[in-house]
Amino acid sequence: MKRIISAAAALVLTLGLTSCARVDPDKAQESVQVIAMDTAMVISTYGRHSTRAAYASEDCIRALEALLSRTKEDSAVSCLNGAGTLELGEPGEELIPLLDAAERYRAETEGAFDITVAPVVSAWGFTAETFQVPGGAELEKLLDLVDGSAVRTEGRTVSLAPGQSIDLGGIAKGYAADKLTAVFRENEVPRALATLGGNVLAWGDRPDGTPWRVGVKDPARPDDQSAFVGVLELTNAFAVTSGGYQRCFEENGKLYHHIIDPATGYPADNGLTSVTVVAAANTGEVPGNGTMCDAYSTAIFVMGEAEALDFWRDRRADFDLVLVTADGRVVVTAGLAGAFAPDEESGYAFETVS
Ligand code: ADP
Ligand code: MG
């Protein structure tokens, strides 16, 4: 029996929304919900231009989906995957810096993050939601196509190696979050909270001046929306979670999820059940830390704990981590020590590492 366990968002938020009936225009608030990129998104903006900003955010996400989706036939990514090469027009040009960023993250993570894993993701049925366990020989053949370093960009033209395709599902929501920071700046939004599935952007602070509170879901209880391992208190930060519980199916009593280890072709199984990456959101770069957090959360899930902590120690100025392990521990890196409130009732053992 195949079954989709849960496509629920990785993070559930504790929102302190003010009423939009207040007179002070700086306290105005607007919220939009967008179903896009295979997930439910909520964007809440504040300030005198909150309504304009909220709808501009929605437009921004829809335009990105039209460019990056693998399931929309006429997206730039689908055209590239179909033809193996694509000359980008003006609206598609931004794909080039995004592909450059993807290549940088592939190299940094020694291939744990690789957008050319696309044919393998499809073989498991995660693209068309026709879940199946592929044969070993089929996976071996497909793994030959996985090599992000073979993606070429020259001017506005992108080309893939024969048979290759790309999947930006591990990076697109993070890139969208980076773009929202630009929308918020343009519209002078002093504070906002955007949850793009497991990608959260906590912009500014809450209306009462305290940090946004972002819950890290307990990956062992995916269907319980109130089950957390702890809460992150964040101001001007991205928090991105990857977990095997978000999109998976069961066959013959075994659970298979959507984060593929490019070294094996199988769902990553290296002892982690969820990875949350936190980084600053006020750098102004697009692609920037939102994209980085998304790529890293996928890659670190593939790496497993020991490799993940080595990776963090080499780059500890750039980001912090909350790792949840299959053996019941929550490992928090030093930079989050004051910002992570563990849920002691959750049954996990908590560790801070430096
Ligand atoms: P989600 O999209 O659920 O938030 P992730 O950001 O971790 O989770 O991305 C997982 C998606 O990325 C998969 O659905 C697939 O499209 C793609 N993917 C799977 N494995 C990898 C990988 N090793 N490197 C890059 N992308 C991947
Ligand atoms: Mg990701």
Q: How does DSSP classify residue 115?
A: G
Whether ligand 1 lies within 6 angstroms of the CB of 300 is answered as no
For 113, the token pair is 């993050």
> What is the DSSP annotation of 11-46?
EEEE--PPPTT-S-GGG-EEEEEEEETTEEEEEEEE
Atom of ligand 1 nearest to the CA of 301: 7
The pLDDT of residue 213: 98
Q: Is the CB of 242 under 6 A from ligand 1?
A: yes
pLDDT tens per residue across span 2-32: 334 333 333 444 333 333 444 477 788 999 9
Q: Which residue's CA lies nearest to atom 10 of ligand 1?
A: 170
Q: Find out whether 272 and 304 touch, Cβ atoms under 8 Å.
A: yes
Percent of the chain with pLDDT over 90: 91
Confidence of residue 336 (pLDDT cuts 50, 70, 90): very high
- Residue 222 Cβ < 6 Å to ligand 1: no
How many CB atoms are closer than 10 A to CB 53?
25
Residue 209: left (phi > 0), alpha (psi -120 to 50), or beta? left
Residues β-bridged to residue 243: 274
Find how far residue 2's CA is from the centre of its chain: 25
Residue with tokens 């929605």: 58
Bridge partners for 233 per DSSP: 213
Q: Give the Cα separation of 111 and 303 in Å (integer).
A: 10
**What is the Cα–Cα distance from 177 to 38, expressed in whole angstroms?**
15
